[in-house]
Amino acid sequence: MLSADKLLEKMAGAPADVLDKTIDTSKKITEVFVSRKQINQARDYWKSLGPGLTTGAADDDPSGITTYSQAGAAYGFNFLWLAGFTFPLMSVVQEMCARIGLVTGRGLAANIRQYYPKWVLYIATLLLFSANTLNIGADLGAMAKATQLLFPDIRFTTLILGFTMITLALQIFTTYEKYAKYLKWLALVLLSYVFSALTVSIDWNEALQKAIIPTIVFSKDQIFLITAVLGTTISPYLFFWQTSQEVEEQILEGKTTLKLRREETSTREVRNMRMDVWSGMFLSNLVMFFIIAAAAATLFTHGITNITSAAEAAEALRPIAGERVYLLFALGIIGTGMLAVPILAGSASYALSESFGWKFGLYRRLREANAFYGVIIISTGIGLAINLLGFDSIKVLIYSAVFNGLIAPVVLILIVLISGNIKIMGRWVNGKITTFFGWLIVALMTLAGAATIISLLT
């Protein structure tokens, strides 16, 4: 075999065209290896994503889309800073929830039940069930109306029944492993809002300036909208879902008993969980940014300043931004609804089942967890009835906001206390920075909840 020095000597005496061909071949081989490495890294990153990604994506449900569209339509780019502001806040909260599930091997409600008075948990979970059920009703209605934008000949009742049956069937009759993959891929539908924003003309200099420098006028309407954005991004149902999904993932890995799940949590597990959570929250807030930007660049500039539903936002965009944006926006509403409705029902069911000691888990069959699946069916069924009985979707969302405003601060306090308790969390207890942000979020959500309830009820 030739040594490196001998090989260089031979190459040095070779004709120029041979050297050129050798160099070109080497470059091509290097490019192939680099591209394969990048593909493998991307594949590994995608595999590492799970509960954090789906939780973040579910945050941008049709109700959230309505809120963000209204922010852009009413105030242009002025509220773009909220995307960056809420990103670390919701990431810290969801990371605490995920860590609680990962370390304790229990869901959030089960931990609250063990360490705190049961009456606090019962009130919180009943409010959660009420808020989630109302939100399910609003989201099902938004999905049906968005579908009618694309297929106007299909009856509203037919669509509502169809979406209800599909979401229930996926939760009840598919295994958790398949269901988790479905939710994960469905999260990518959020990119439709990014694409829709990129197809319209946006003044990016102004947009980026407003995204960095907060613009606030302390009027009642602006304060209400800010609290609405905080409420829809830092929502109680996400807390319970995130924690319980970490437990589901452990069970999927073979940790079927509490003893196995409570074994020492590794640094790798926590690192992967944090990457998953922060990636999911980044996607959620990126979509918020682009929805506000798209609404500001189109609806606001054309004097359309009042949006009451996600479907209305899509319809208003059609004559201004064109068919492509209209189509992407409508498809996004349907897709996010398909993601959010089962998560809303599932989080309420986890909370109630853990509170009352019922058997629970999407990994179980229907006959093994009748009460757990019963809550999912009842919650989704009431959401269906809300639409069939013709309740005003705006009033439904108002009551949902009131319930969330009551429950969020209480649950957040318990999350910070549990994740900050060294006896419960061991070496994975909150650090000083996390604790500071945790109590800051509690204070903000307490103010936001109070402001929302006062403004809605006066």
Percent of the chain exceeding pLDDT 90 equals 49
pLDDT band at 8 (very low <50, low <70, confident <90, very high): very low
Residue 405 sits in a domain whose CATH number is 1.20.1740.10
CA distance 165 to 379: 13
Are 430 and 420 in contact by the 8 Å Cβ rule? The answer is yes
Query: CA geometry: angle at 339 spanning 38 and 288, to 5°?
Result: 70
Q: Is residue 36 part of a domain?
A: no
Radius of gyration of the chain (CA): 25
DSSP state of 251: H
Q: Is residue 43 part of a domain?
A: no
Q: Is residue 197 part of a domain?
A: yes
CA distance 148 to 381: 21
Average pLDDT, the chain: 86
Average pLDDT over residues 82-111: 95
Q: Which residue has the higher pLDDT, 62 or 42?
A: 62
Q: What is the number of other CB atoms lying within 10 angstroms of the CB of residue 216?
A: 11
Q: Is residue 55 part of a domain?
A: no
pLDDT at 38 over 70: yes
pLDDT at 458 over 80: no
Query: CA geometry: angle at 42 spanning 38 and 48, to 5°?
Result: 145
How high is the pLDDT of residue 183? Answer: 86
Q: How many domains does the chain have?
A: 1
CA distance 92 to 98: 10
pLDDT (tens digit per residue) in 176-225: 888 888 888 888 888 888 888 888 888 999 999 999 988 777 777 788 88
How high is the pLDDT of residue 434? Answer: 95
**Which of 255-269, 347-361, 428-442 shows the lowest per-residue confidence on average (mean pLDDT)?**
255-269
Q: Is residue 9 part of a domain?
A: no
Q: Is residue 39 part of a domain?
A: no
Percent of the chain exceeding pLDDT 70 equals 91
Average pLDDT over residues 141-145: 91
Q: Is residue 404 part of a domain?
A: yes
Q: What is the number of other CB atoms lying within 10 angstroms of the CB of residue 284?
A: 29
pLDDT at 328 over 90: no
3-state secondary structure of 80: coil
pLDDT band at 371 (very low <50, low <70, confident <90, very high): very high
Are 138 and 154 in contact by the 8 Å Cβ rule? The answer is no
Are 289 and 301 in contact by the 8 Å Cβ rule? The answer is no
pLDDT at 81 over 90: yes
291 is written with which tokens?
Answer: 């929805």
- Residue-range definition of the domain harbouring residue 140: 61-457
How high is the pLDDT of residue 169? Answer: 92
pLDDT at 388 over 90: yes
CA distance 122 to 351: 9
Q: How far is CA 154 from CA 160, 161, 336, in A?
A: 11, 12, 20
CA distance 178 to 167: 14
pLDDT at 7 over 50: no
pLDDT band at 30 (very low <50, low <70, confident <90, very high): low
How high is the pLDDT of residue 392? Answer: 78
Q: Is residue 254 part of a domain?
A: yes
